[in-house]
């Protein structure tokens, strides 16, 4: 007999648990950037900031914690300077390569 599992009985999946190394973070952000979706980029930066500690990232970026949550929530479209400040606070460097 097949056991039926309700979705509500499944454990919550927290992607931030997998962002435990610089390499994992770099690979995740690279894949997101290749997709070209600015809202997805904001959400990914939010995931990384949560993994690192949102309060500290906000402080290092010079952005209020609530403003950072708002800028990096799913579906948002943060300004480039916000993305740049968050990347710097996270110790990330965005580079450009020729498309091949």
Answer yes or no: is 11 within a domain: no
Answer yes or no: is 60 within a domain: yes
pLDDT tens per residue, the chain (100 residues)?
788 888 888 888 787 888 888 899 989 999 898 888 888 899 999 999 999 999 999 999 999 999 999 999 888 889 999 999 999 999 988 888 888 7
Answer yes or no: is 12 within a domain: no
Number of residues in the chain? 100
Answer yes or no: is 7 within a domain: no
Answer yes or no: is 34 within a domain: yes
Structural domain that includes position 63: 24-90
Answer yes or no: is 18 within a domain: no
Instruction: Tally the domains of the chain.
Output: 1
Residue 11's pLDDT is what?
81
Are the beta carbons of 82 and 71 closer than 8 angstroms?
A: yes
Residue 69's pLDDT is what?
93
Say how many CA atoms lie within 13 Å of 79 toward its Cβ.
5
**Per the structure block, which two tokens stand in for 95?**
């580079």
Answer yes or no: is 69 within a domain: yes
Are the beta carbons of 38 and 73 closer than 8 angstroms?
A: no
Are the beta carbons of 56 and 50 closer than 8 angstroms?
A: no
């Amino acid at each position: 007999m097949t056991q039926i599992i309700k979705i509500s009985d499944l454990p919550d999946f927290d992607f931030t648990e997998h962002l435990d190394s610089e390499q994992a973070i770099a690979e995740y952000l690279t894949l997101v950037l290749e997709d070209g979706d600015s809202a997805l980029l904001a959400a990914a930066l939010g995931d990384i900031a949560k993994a690192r500690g949102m309060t500290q990232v906000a402080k290092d970026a010079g952005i209020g914690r609530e403003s950072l949550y708002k800028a990096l929530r799913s579906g948002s479209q943060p300004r480039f300077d916000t993305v740049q400040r968050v990347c710097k606070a996270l110790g990330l460097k965005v580079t450009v390569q020729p498309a091949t």
